[in-house]
Amino acid sequence: MREEIVEAAMAEFRAHGFNAAGVKDITDAAGAPKGSFYNHFESKEALAVVALERYGATRRLQDLADQRIEPLKRLRRHFEFLRDEIVGYGYTQGCLIGNFGNEIVDHSVAIRAGAQQGVDAWRAALAGALADAVQAGAVDPGLEPQTTALFILSAWQGAIIAARTERSSAPFDAFFTMIFGKLLAASQNDRSS
C-alpha cells in the first residue's frame, strides 16, 4: 500500500502541485483508504520528500555516466527521454523537482532540502557528461562543466514551464536547438576553423 501511495503522490504532485494535491486525492488515486495514509507517512510533507527521492531515481541519471556512449549523445538522449515523457503526458505533468522548487520550497525546509538534493544530483550527472565531452574534445576546452550544467538545467526547467503553458513542444525544440545546435556545437565549429 505504501508503494501505491508514493506512486500516486508522484503523479498527483506532478499534475497538480503540492498544495492542490490533497491526501484524499492521493489515497483515492492509490485505491487506498484515507486512514491508511497515516500508517505510512506522518504528513503530506513527509510523503513529498519520499516522492522527490523516488522521482529522482527515475530520471536515469546513471545513463549520463555510461562511458560506452559518447558524452554529447548521452546528454541529448537524457533530455529526449525527459521531453518524451512530458509530451506523453500531454503536457499535464512537469518535473517534480521544478514544481516543488516553484511552489513549496519557501514554506518547507524538508521539501527544500529534498529538492536541493535532486538538483545537486542532476547537476553533478550533467557536469560529469560535460566533463567527459571536454576531455574527448567534443566541446570547447574552456567550457566549465559545473556552470554549464547549471545553465542547461535552468534552461530545461524553463522549457518545461513554457511547454506546459503552450501545450506545445516548441519550447523543447528551442531548447535542443540552442543547447545542442548552438551552445555545445558552436565550440566544435570554432575548433575546426
**71-100 residue pLDDT tens:** 999 999 999 999 999 999 999 998 999 999
CATH numbers and ranges of domains, the chain: 1-58 (1.10.10.60), 62-193 (1.10.357.10)
Query: Would the pTM count as exceeding 0.95?
Result: no
Quickly count: other Cβ atoms within 10 Å of residue 34's Cβ.
Answer: 13
pLDDT of residue 168: 97
Q: Hey, what's the cell of 6?
A: 508514493
Length of the chain, in residues: 193
Quickly count: other Cβ atoms within 10 Å of residue 28's Cβ.
Answer: 14
Cα separation of 158 and 63, whole Å? 23
Query: What's the rounded mean pLDDT across residues 175-184?
Result: 96
Instruction: List the one residue out of 128, 122, 130 whose CA is nearest residue 184.
Output: 130
Angle among Cα 119, 125, 128 to the nearest 5 degrees reads: 135
Query: What's the rounded mean pLDDT across residues 28-52?
Result: 94
pLDDT of residue 140: 92
Q: What is the pLDDT of residues 119-144, one digit of tens each?
A: 999 999 999 999 999 999 999 999 99
C-beta of residue 161 within 8 angstroms of C-beta of residue 101: no
pLDDT of residue 34: 87
Query: What's the rounded mean pLDDT across residues 42-47?
Result: 96
pLDDT of residue 35: 86
pLDDT of residue 75: 98
C-beta of residue 42 within 8 angstroms of C-beta of residue 56: no
